[in-house]
Amino acid sequence: MNKSQVKLEEIMPALQGVIPSIVATSSLDHIPNVTYISQIYYVDTNHVALSYQFFNKTIKNVRENPVLVAILTCPVHYSLYKMTLRYQESQTSGEIFDNMSMQLDALAISQKKEHIFKLRAADIYEVISIIHV
């Protein structure tokens, strides 16, 4: 096992959405795409979730090429972590979806914007590797 491999539980602060994460994807014709994402959600020891609110290039790339690489910043130590993920499935119900949806609702309701922000799905990713950058 690679000594620099980090466990998901060790970087929980980085999964709270305090500092947005950067995600990079690639289309099948080798064009890279990079964008910010508000939060990567902890699911379990080997999985995380990303929110799918509206269709974009990242979603399009991942649907054809399931590899996504994210850079997370820990808001406590400001360490950077590179997380390689593989897209597994989209969930539109269940505990993960409900928790993510509730967090979004809690924010949106406080601004009376619940009609605008609705979670369409929770995209579940398998964690391939995490390294400290």
Partner 1 sequence: MVVPAWHVEFLKQPLSLWIATTNMENVPEPAKCTGISFDPETDTFTCFVPSKFTVKTFKDLKENPIMTLVGVELHTYEGYQYKGQYLFQRECTQKEIDYQYKYMKEFTDILESFGYSGPGYWKAYIHPPFIALSFKATQVFDQSPKVGTGGEIKTGQS
Partner 2 sequence: MSALETEKLSSLLAESNRKMEIFRKVSFELNKLVSLPEKLQTILAILDEQFGMANSLILIPDDERQMLTVFAGHGYDSSIIGQQVAFGQGLIGLAAVRKRHINLTGIRRKQHYLATVSNEGDLNFVKPIGLTDAESQVAIPLLANDELVAVLMAESRSFCVYDQSDENFLITLAQPLAVSIQNSMLYDSMEKKIKERTAELQHLNKTKDKFFSIISHDLRGPVTSFQSLARLFSYYNQEGQSDKIEDLCSKVEQSVDTLNHLLDNLLDWSLSQTNGIQCSFEIIPLREFIQTIADIYLPNVTAKEIEFTLEVNDGICIRGDRHTLATVFRNLISNAIKFTPRRGSIRILAAVENEKVRIELRDTGVGMDCGRLLNAFQLQGQRSTFGTEKEKGTGLGLVLVKEFTELNEGTITIQSDPGTGTLVTLLLPQGTSPR
Could you list the residues that contact partner 1 (CB under 8 A)? 19, 22-28, 30-36, 54, 56-57, 65, 67-71, 73, 75, 77-80, 82, 84, 133
68 binds, among partner 2, partner 1, none (CB under 5 to 8 A by kind): partner 1
Q: Which residues make up the interface to partner 2 (CB under 8 A)?
A: 9, 12-13, 16-20, 38-39, 42, 75-76, 98-99, 102-103, 105-113, 116-117
102 binds, among partner 1, partner 2, none (CB under 5 to 8 A by kind): partner 2
Q: What is the three-state SS of 34-90?
A: EEEECCEEEEECCEEEEEECCCCHHHHHHHHCCEEEEEEECCCCCCEEEEEEEEEEE
7 binds, among partner 2, partner 1, none (CB under 5 to 8 A by kind): none
Distance CA(131)–CA(6), nearest Å, equals: 6
> By the 8 A CB rule, do 130 and 83 touch?
yes
| Closest approach of partner 2 to the CB of residue 18, in Å | 4
The residues that bridge with 5 in the sheet, in sequence order, are: 131
